[in-house]
Amino acid sequence: MSNFARYPSLAGRPVVISGGASGIGESMVRQFAAQGSKVGFVDIAVPAGEKLAAELSEAGHTVRFAPCDVTDIDAYRSAIADFARAHGDALVLVNNAAHDQRHDWSDVTSAYWDDRMAVNLKHAFFAMQAVAPGMIRAGRGSIINLSSISWMIMTPQLPLYETAKAAAHGLTRSMARELGKSGIRVNTLSPGATVTPRQIELWYTETTMAAIEAQQALAGNVYPDDVTRMALFLAADDSAMISAQQFLVDGGWANT
């Protein structure tokens, strides 16, 4: 039996998650499904996405996967519409998809700038635009924009990623005002250094994880499920009067 919260309001609730095939996104797909939500998720990692959807569907959950590059706005909006036809209009949107590719500021071109904004920020706005009419009709909804503490702690070699992730909270604040009177809440969720398979493959070793832990107020490391549990709370009716806020799940590292 789980020691963690179950949210009755999430049962049967249509949820859309971007970048749901791995890492934090995979955790979100799994945990929203476990809450009884009807989950639609997109990703460019097609085999992983199909495998996850098949596994959860076979276990009796309502989960659909659509192969989609979120930088193709028309394709992403089409996937969201397909999820709505299958599950009902989304009442939860998690803008999770992103890519923290390292780069040197002096090498950045105009095309690379546009590419990084497209994968880390632009799709979030257009996904909100796509789900908002259904949420307005329902008179309720929760949108969760994933940011990162990287811009707060000034992580090197990530100027464009950090620009996009700082802007994510500006987008949250502005859209919380635009949509709030329709009963729609918009919040930012900012993970710390999260231990995912990708980070382990590229960066994390025992030494680097110990160094990260030393920066935190809490012992231990942040894992995807730690981040997801905050997303579940923000999606559920338990957070009904919370909007335009930023929540850090970082072991007590960053200072906003």
User: Which position has the token pair 């909007």?
Assistant: 243
Q: At what angle do helices 23-34 and 46-58 cross, to 10 degrees?
A: 20
Helix, strand and coil percent figures for the chain, each rounded to 5: 50, 15, 30
Question: Is residue 161 annotated as a catalytic residue, yes or no?
Answer: yes
| Given 7, 76, 112, 161, the catalytic residue | 161
Catalytic residue annotation: 161
